[in-house]
Chains A and B, each alone.
Chain A
Amino acid sequence: MQLEAKHLDFGYPGKRVGSDVTLALDAGEVLCLLGPNGSGKTTLFKTLLGLLPSQGGEARIDDVDLRARARDEIARLVSYVPQAHAAFFPFTVDEVVLMGRTAHLGVFSSPSRHDREVAMGAIERMGLGLLADSIYTRISGGERQLTLIARALAQDARIVVMDEPTANLDFGNQVRVLEHIQALARTGMGVLLSTHDPDQAFICADRVAMLHGGKLARIGTPAEAITSESLRQLYGVDVEVAQVETGSGARRTACIPLLQQQRPAAL
C-alpha cells in the first residue's frame, strides 16, 4: 500500500501552484508536510486525493494512476480529513461519522447495521462516545476535528491524508490529535499530514517533506530535514533547533524561534 507522487505538477486549470513533486508514503509511516502559508500544501493534498486533476506527472496509489480509478475506489483506499469547518445542516456526530461508510455502499444503498457498528467503533476509538447524539454544528472545534478523524476511520482506508489537523485547536486537543496519529500509524495505516508547527514533526513524524513555493525543498527524517538553516529558508525567520532534556529524563528536539531582541550578536 503506497501513496505516491511522481514528478507531480499540481494546481487549478490555468493556474499552476506547484511542480515536480516526487514523494511516497508507505504503510505504517507518518509523513509530515511543512511549508509556509500559500506554499501549496492543500492543493498538493487535493491532487494526491484525485480531487483536482494532476497538471503533469503522476499521482498513484498501489502503482495505479488515480485517473484510472473510480471515485469510490479511491475513497476506499485513501481517506481525507479536511480542516474542521462549519457544517450547513445540523447532522448528529454519529450521522457525520456514518458518512465515512459511503464508499462501501452501493449508489442506491443506505448504511446497514454493520456500517453503524463500524461507525460506532470509530466514535468510541476517538473517545467521542458521549457526543454521538450531539449536533455536529454545536460541538467545539476540537470535538469536530476528532469527529472528522473518526469519519476517516469509519472509511476504513489504509491511508489517511490530514490537512492541518491541529489548526485552531487548543494545546490539549493538539496533543490528543498527535497521539491519535501515532496510534493510527502503529495499526499499519499510512498518515500524510500538514502542519505549521515543526515541533509536531519531531513528535509524531517518521519523515518530513518541506514545500516551498510549490517545490519540494527537502525530504528526510525529522533530524535530517529540520535544521535552523532549512527553517530559515522555509519561513524566513531565525530558529534554533535544540536538544532538550526534561527533568523526568525525556529527550526531544525542539525548535526555538529567536526574536530580534534575543538574537546573539554573532548572528
Chain B
Amino acid sequence: MTPARVSLAVTAACAALAGLVLVAFSVGRFPVAAGDLASVLWASLTGTEHGLDPTIEAVVLKIRGPRVAAALLIGAALAAAGAAYQNMFRNPLVSPDILGVSAGAAVGAVLGIFLSLNVIAIQWLAFAFGLGAVGLVYVTANAVRGHDPLLVLVLAGVVVGSLLGACVALMKYLADPYNQLPAITFWLLGSLASANPDDVWSTLPLMLIGLLPMWLLRWRINLLSLDDEEARALGVETGRIRLAVVAAATLMTSAAVAVSGVIGWIGLVIPHFARLLVGPDFSRLLPTSILLGAGFLLGVDTLARTVARIEIPLGVLTAFVGTPLFLWQLATARRGWQ
C-alpha cells in the first residue's frame, strides 16, 4: 500500500471508531441525545455546569463511560495479544483461547472470586495462572516430537484447557451457591455490565505495560514467525524475545479476563482480518488489530445490551458473531497463508 492509502485507511478506521463510541454512548435503555452527550462531556472536561437532568450525567459518566472504556481496552488487548501469539507460534490459528491462556486466567480469577479477593489480586492471580497455562501448553507441545507441530500445539491446548475447565467446575461445585456461584457463572460467560471506573483504572496500566514490549520489539516479532534456527541465524536471540512477548501478551489477556470474564474469538478472528487488510508486518498488524479489536468489542457489547430486553452475555455473542466469520475466513483465505 502507498503511504497515502495507509493514512486514508487509518483516518477512516479512527473516524469509524469515534462514530461507534458516540453510538455506544447514545443508545440503550436510557437514550441520550447527541447534544446532551456533548454538553455533559464538555461540562465534565471543563468542570462547569451543564444544567441538564443529573440522571443524564450519571448514565453518561458513571454507567456508560466506564463500560465503553472497558470495551475499547479489552477488545484492543485481546486482539493485540492474539496477533502476538499468532506470530510467535507461527500459526494463524492460535489465540489466547486455544493456547489455554484464557482458561488459565479464568481459573486464577475464579479462585480469586472464590477467596473473595479484590480486583487487583484477581488480576495478578489471573496473570499467574494464564502464564502457567501457556507455559504448560508450550512445554507439552515441545516434548511431543515426531508429529505435526500445529496439531500437537492445538491438542495440548485442548488437553490443558479441559484440565483447567475441571478446576473451574470443582470451584463452582464448592462455591457458596447464593453469593459466589452466580458471580462466577455470570463472569465466566463474559460481561462488561459491572465494569466500573476502578476496573478501568487498574487495568489500563497493565495493558500499557503489556503493549510497550510488543511495540518496541515489533520488528523482531516479525522474525519470530520464521523457523527458530533461521531467526537465530539472522541475529535474533529468539529465546529471550519470545519470553518477553509471551509474558506481555499473557499479561494483557489476563488483565482483560480479570475485568470482563472469558470473551473468546476476538484474539483469533481480529488479527486475521487485520492481516488480510494490511499484511503480516507487525508494525502495521499491531495497530490495525488494536483498532479493529476495540471497535469489534464495543460494537458487540452495545448489541449485547440493546438487542434484547435482558442483557446477552458477551462471550455468547462474540461466539455467535465470531464463529461464522471465522468459518468464512477459513474457506476463503486459506490460500493466503501457505
Contacts and interface: CB of A to CB of B under 8 A. Distances in A.
Q: Do A and B come from the same complex? A: yes
Interface of A: 46, 49, 51, 71-72, 74-76, 79-80, 82, 85-92, 95, 99-100, 102-103, 105, 107-111, 135, 137, 151, 155
Interface string B195-229: 00000000000000000000011111011011101
B280 A79 contact: no
B308 interface: no
Contacts of A135: 336
Nearest to B234: A102
B266 to A, nearest CB: 20
A90 B280 contact: yes
Interface residues of B, number: 31
Interface stretch (B84-92, B122-130, B171-179, B291-299): B84-92
Contact of B236 (A80, A90, A102, A151): A102
A130 to B, nearest CB: 18
B91 A88 contact: yes
A189 B222 CA distance: 28
B235 A89 contact: no
B219 A109 contact: yes
B275 interface: yes
Output the residue of A46, A75, A79 with the most chain B CB within 10 A: A75
Contact of B338 (A71, A86, A95, A155): A86
B234 A100 contact: yes
Contacts of A74: 235
Given A71-B237, A108-B217, A91 B232 contact: no
Contacts of B233: 49, 51, 75, 79-80, 82
B19 interface: no
A137 B219 contact: no
A108 B218 CA distance: 8
Contact of A102 (B218, B223, B336, B338): B223
B38 to A, nearest CB: 39
Given A71-B232, A102-B223, A88 B279 contact: no
B235 A51 contact: no
B239 to A, nearest CB: 10
A99 B282 CA distance: 13
A239 B327 CA distance: 56
B337 interface: yes
Interface in B71-129: 87, 90-92
A82 B234 contact: no
7 contacts: A71-B236, A80-B233, A80-B234, A87-B226, A88-B92, A99-B223, A137-B337
* Residue of B216, B223, B229 most packed against chain A (CB within 10 A): B229
B283 interface: yes
A117 B92 CA distance: 30
Given A72-B236, A107-B241, 7 more contacts: A86-B338, A95-B279, A99-B234, A103-B234, A103-B235, A135-B336, A155-B235
Contact of B222 (A46, A80, A99, A137): A99
A88 B225 contact: yes
Contacts of B222: 91, 95, 99
A99 B91 CA distance: 19
